[in-house]
Structure 1
Amino acid sequence: MTTAMMPLYHVFGSATCFPKGNPCGGAPPPPPPPPPPLSMSLSPNVVMRMRRRKKKKKSFLCSASKCNLDDSSSSSPKQPFSITPSSQYDVDYLGQSTKGDLNLNSHHQLPSFGIDARPIQEVAKIEALEAQLLLANLGIPSPSSARDSPRGIFCSRTLNLRSISAIGYDMDYTLIHYNVMAWEGRAYDYCMDNLRNMGFPIEGLAFDPDLVIRGLVIDKENGNLVKADRFGYVQRAMHGTRMLSTRVVSEMYGRELVDLRKESRWEFLNTLFSVSEAVAYMQMVNRLDEGAIAAELGPLDYKGLYKAVGRALFRAHVEGQLKNEIMTNPELFVEPDPQLPLALLDQKEAGKKLLLITNSDYQYTNKMMKHSFNRFLPNEMGWRDLFDMVIVSARKPEFFQMSHPLYEVVTTEGLMRPCFKARAGGLYSGGSAQMVENFLDIHGDEILYVGDHIYTDVSQSKVHLRWRTALICRELEEEYNALINGRGHRAALVELINRKEVVGDLFNQLRLALQRRTKNRPAQTLAATNMDNQELTESMQKLLIVMQRLDEKIAPMLEIDGELFNKRWGYLSRAGLWDKSHLMRQIEKYADIYTSKVSNFLHYTPFMYFQSQEQAKGRQLFNVGDQKKNLVIKLDDMDRIDMNVICVVWQTLAHDSYLYCQSQPASDLEN
């Protein structure tokens, strides 16, 4: 396929292309032939033939900001496109800035492309079809296909990437993804060694990554690990390493909510770095309950035990043993991602200023970035060439909250000197987000920050600076696949719950009829009033037995719902059958977009316009469409229905002023 087949006037898509051989500002190209009737079925070959009907063959050079020419016949320097600058932007109908949008210059008239020949709805229908076919012929995946995949970028709040001038990145578990078993396993080992040196019994304990998932909350008063829904109600809980029954959870947490503002009690597991600490703590809770902790360590309660485990892990990080081991053998801990540097390169070449803002020190940052980036970059580029500014030892979240002195790293050994004015391409330590804004001369929603920590990276940059935010949650890929593979189980579970709801609603209506009868009042309808006592009682008995047996079936199915992701805690995004987890609530509140890897940006473009989706049950990523097909019968018609027949069917739902029956032939319900 030749490049001459590409459309001339797609200015809002994933690439910006203009003709080579038709000079910018020159005469407009000849109009294309009129589009075919809407009733035609267009095959890719037909579309390709249409594209070849140009009087003059053209090739295309793509750019975000300039027109590249090689036609010596051109005499006009005027360009066909212009980019909306920061000083002249508007706000579109979704409330998003139009900064960075590409515009047609006035000398290009729409009639020359045949766009005014028919209503725009018809033109758009044809162009959308042609765009899909052209993407397929070019071998470029559609952004919609990426969106509906484990590596999609999911949107909580509409975000126009074209209006973003700078993108800042965290490093650990964002630009560099560690093997959790290796990294957190070694962190756990060092933590337990320190606990043993402190006198704690650790014999027989081993790292179990399945014990904990991101988004759980540690209850430091009770030695529990809990999973809460978006409102803070505890749905599941574990004491030590033992899961608590639903009844115990209800008795313990039925009257209180998880409130993350009470930091003295609740500790939210924001990131994968929390896994090793949580595993160690829950295992040590068992030892405390067993009375195995020596009295010489003092009278420890669960809160004091949490502090001891935290100190042990902190020493492992401060003493540098873990990081030294990783720097010596990075290939044992880092999962390479060849696509990630290329995604950043696309963003840089699109005019975005890239920033690296990490809490890690310079030596560690340089070693890990070299290992993870340099071998995948073209033309002997190094990782530093990607970034307009690198800030190490940033001290987040204080970096977003207050000002610290800025130092410039001036030697490969990491020696520093005070710095009062940053420069492009500089390497710095400390400082503040306000300094970054002053250096870039851009503020607020023109900056996108990408990180893996909901509080340190995402929440604080949004709350204090109104930066746009993206969360990297590596587990989303596994979550997505678990949800897809668990649809069969969930459909069966929902069907049973719906049947119980139908049976239960009829039971409640009959119970109400019986209650009114005992008070010498008429029932809801004439038919219900005329039922004899034996008929009413037997119908209720039968329905009650059905509901009890349904409960026996539903309870274990509900217990294992989500076990494809984690056998103890279920899905990452859900709490209970229908509600979102507390983690999902935090993501939607603070992250404008979220995805599993930074390299997923490569499946889109630096010009992507992310739009939030309809807020259906759960989430656009996690929605399972379970619907009941119902036949509606007015209650006035109930005198034509034999109540015994309805009891046998067990699928009648009395609700408001109608009686809803799951799809059955009307003749089956009529007497």
Structure 2
Amino acid sequence: MVDRLDEGAVPAELGPLDYKGLFKAVSKALFRAHVEGQLKSEIMAEPERFVEPDPELPLALLDQKEAGKRLLLITNSDYHYTNKMMHHAFNKFLPNDKGWRDLFDMVIVSARKPEFFQMSHPLYEVVTSDGLMRPCFKARSGGLYSGGSAQMVEKSLDVHGDEILYVGDHIFTDVSQSKVHLRWRTALICRELEDEFNALIHSRSHRAALIKLIQQKEVVGDLFNQLRLSLQRRTKGRPAQTLAATNMDDQELTESMQKLLIVMQRLDQKIAPMLEADGELFNRRWGYLSRAGLWDKSHLTRQIEKYADIYTSRVSNFLHYTPFMYFRSQEQTLAHDSHSYSSRDINGVAVDDMQ
């Protein structure tokens, strides 16, 4: 919509808009589409237009269920939308005339996450195929419910905390809340990982060349700083750190520094456009999802590391493992780890996210 506004292609009936006005117009339209049910009605009418099926997803869940895991579906969507979408996305891929309901020990619709993890709402049981509900005070295995709370789930299943793995696709309303308030184990689904992973593979040579240039500049910059320190010490009558710099006169030091500055400027001219292009294969505007610049992690990545015990691009990836797999985190490297510094850094400074 920003591109359309910049191009002058926004319909005239919306009136003259700046960016703030565009934000308000889009927000109002989205709010009305959700509240009035227009968005979900269009999706339910033609789910094949909007849903990208994953044939392996139901099979991955079936493996987990048959291995003795108890599966729950907890969604903010209402019963009618949930039933339509799950039927479309699951039933045709399940064997032996199984339906999507056969996978789950409990289904909770209209959960009102993230409040679902923090407080208790009235619980209703969905008792008819057209969505008729009645008040309910205790959940049972195999039931279909509306509302309730996470504490109710723990009580009805008699499981708590890290006995539960919560799988969600929103770091703030799903994953962080279940981790912070209930100490559940968490898995984040981030579909963009697939495109980013492919972009990283195709940009390996570019990043390798860029890192090589940056390392060259660091070497030149270190030499420049040695000469700069030599001039500083000379004013105090103290020797330089290196014999070569000590034996130079003031003119030689100055000329050497000027030459090194020229070399660094030429390296900068090569590095700058390569830095700007890094990540373009994923997104031409702001680069990679998981990175901020060449070295640092993005805010999203730091949130994932803080709240998600595991993350992947789709649930069906669990088919690559058995349902009995125990996932362990990788070794967390530190700035002073033996494999993270060179020999000249042993008595130096360990740098971690310091500009």
Give the Cα–Cα distance (whole angstroms) in 2 for the partners of residues 381 and 524 of structure 1. 77
Post-superposition shift, 1:523? 2.4
Say whether the 8 Å CA contact 2:79–2:110 is kept in structure 1.
Answer: yes
Match for 1:591: what amino acid?
A
Give the Cα–Cα distance (whole angstroms) in 1 for the partners of residues 59 and 82 of structure 2. 19
Give the Cα–Cα distance (whole angstroms) in 2 for the partners of residues 412 and 383 of structure 1. 14
Post-superposition shift, 1:471? 0.4
Q: Structure 2 vs 1, CA of residues 203 and 523 (structure 1 numbering), >3 Å: closer, same or farther?
A: closer
**Counterpart of 2:192?**
475
**Counterpart of 1:389?**
106
| Secondary structure of 1:586's aligned partner | helix
Match for 1:446: what amino acid?
E
Gaps of 5+ in 2: 349-355
1:561 and 2:292 are equivalent in the alignment:
no
1:570 and 2:293 are equivalent in the alignment:
no
Larger % of helix: which?
Answer: 2
| Secondary structure of 1:479's aligned partner | helix
Say whether the 8 Å CA contact 2:126–2:144 is kept in structure 1.
Answer: yes
1:548 and 2:265 are equivalent in the alignment:
yes
Post-superposition shift, 1:205? 4.2
Give the Cα–Cα distance (whole angstroms) in 1 for the partners of residues 142 and 170 of structure 2. 26
Q: How does 1:282-431 map to 2 (within 5 A)?
A: 292-293=16-17, 302=20, 306=23, 309-431=26-148
Match for 2:157: what amino acid?
L
Say whether the 8 Å CA contact 2:334–2:340 is kept in structure 1.
Answer: no
Give the Cα–Cα distance (whole angstroms) in 2 for the partners of residues 441 and 490 of structure 1. 50
Q: Structure 2 vs 1, CA of residues 422 and 657 (structure 1 numbering), >3 Å: closer, same or farther?
A: closer
Query: TM-score, normalized by length of structure 2?
Result: 0.89
Post-superposition shift, 1:577? 1.2
* Higher radius of gyration, 1 or 2: 1
Match for 2:16: what amino acid?
A
1:204 and 2:204 are equivalent in the alignment:
no
Give the Cα–Cα distance (whole angstroms) in 2 for the partners of residues 617 and 553 of structure 1. 30
Q: How does 1:179-258 map to 2 (within 5 A)?
A: 204-205=9-10
Query: TM-score, normalized by length of structure 1?
Result: 0.48
Higher relative contact order (CA 8 A, sep 6+): 1
| Secondary structure of 1:610's aligned partner | coil
Post-superposition shift, 1:202? 10
Match for 2:53: what amino acid?
P
Superimposed CA distance per residue, residues 309-341 of structure 1 (whole angstroms, 9 cap, x where no aligned partner): 423211111111111111111111111111111
| Secondary structure of 1:537's aligned partner | helix
Match for 2:207: what amino acid?
R
Match for 2:81: what amino acid?
Y
1:490 and 2:207 are equivalent in the alignment:
yes
Instruction: Name the % identity.
Output: 80
| Secondary structure of 1:512's aligned partner | helix
Q: Structure 2 vs 1, CA of residues 519 and 492 (structure 1 numbering), >3 Å: closer, same or farther?
A: same
Number of paired residues?
A: 341
Superimposed CA distance per residue, residues 78-106 of structure 1 (whole angstroms, 9 cap, x where no aligned partner): xxxxxxxxxxxxxxxxxxxxxxxxxxxxx
Cα RMSD, aligned residues only: 2.8
| Secondary structure of 2:48's aligned partner | helix
Say whether the 8 Å CA contact 1:578–1:617 is kept in structure 2.
Answer: no
Give the Cα–Cα distance (whole angstroms) in 1 for the partners of residues 251 and 182 of structure 2. 70
1:523 and 2:240 are equivalent in the alignment:
yes
Say whether the 8 Å CA contact 1:201–1:292 is kept in structure 2.
Answer: no
Gaps of 5+ in 1: 1-187, 193-199, 207-286, 294-299, 619-625, 633-654, 659-671
Match for 2:107: what amino acid?
V
Give the Cα–Cα distance (whole angstroms) in 2 for the partners of residues 510 and 201 of structure 1. 51
Q: After superposing the two structures, state which structure 1 stretch, 532-541 or 341-350, moved more.
A: 532-541
